[in-house]
Amino acid sequence: MDPIIAQIQQELEALADPEIQKSSKRFFKEEIRCYGVKTAPVIAMAKRYWEEVKNRPKPEIFALCEELYRSGYMEESFIVSEWAHALSGRYEREDLAVFQRWIDTYITNWASCDGLCNHTMGDFIEQYPEYTDELKRWIQSKNRWMRRASAVSLIVPAKHGRFLKESIEIADLLLTDTDDMVQKGYGWLLKEASRKHTDEVFAYVMKNKRQMPRTALRYAIELMPKELKAEAIKKNW
**CA angle, 220 as apex, 216 and 225 as ends, to 5°?**
140
Residues of the chain with pLDDT under 50: 236-237
Is residue 123 located within the same domain as residue 188? Answer: yes
Q: What is the DSSP letter of 223?
A: T
* 196 and 119 inside one domain: yes
CB-based burial label for 29 (10 Å; 0-12, 13-18, 19+): exposed
**The model's pTM:** 0.94
* Residue 214 counted as domain residue: yes
pLDDT at 16: 96
pLDDT at 26: 86
**Residues 86 and 160 both lie in one domain:** no
Smallest Cα–Cα separation from 111: which of 19, 181, 63, 216?
A: 181
Q: What is the pLDDT of residue 235?
A: 64
CB proximity list for 51: less than 8 A, separation 6 or greater? none
DSSP state of 121: I
Same structural domain, 81 and 113: no
Q: In 3D, which of 110, 84, 102 has the Cα closest to residue 32? A: 110
- Residue count of the chain, please give it: 237
Give every CB contact of residue 138 below 8 A, 6+ residues apart in sequence: 100, 146, 147, 149, 150
| The dihedral sign for the CA sequence 47, 163, 150, 221 | positive
132 shares a domain with 234: yes
- How many CA atoms, within 13 angstroms, populate the side-chain half-sphere of residue 157? 22
pLDDT in the model for residue 30: 86
- Tell me how many domains the chain contains: 2
Identify whether residues 3 and 118 lie together within a single domain. Answer: no
Range of the domain at 77: 1-90
Of the three residues 61, 90, 119, the one that is the final residue of a domain is 90
Q: Where are the alpha helices (DSSP H) in the chain?
A: 3-15, 18-24, 39-53, 58-70, 74-86, 95-106, 110-116, 122-127, 132-138, 144-152, 155-159, 164-174, 180-194, 198-208, 214-220, 226-233
> How far is C-alpha 186 from the geometric centre of its chain's CA atoms?
11
Question: Would you state the pLDDT for residue 59?
Answer: 97
DSSP structure class, residue 131: G
DSSP 88: G
User: Does 147 lie in the same domain as 46?
Assistant: no
pLDDT of residue 237: 46
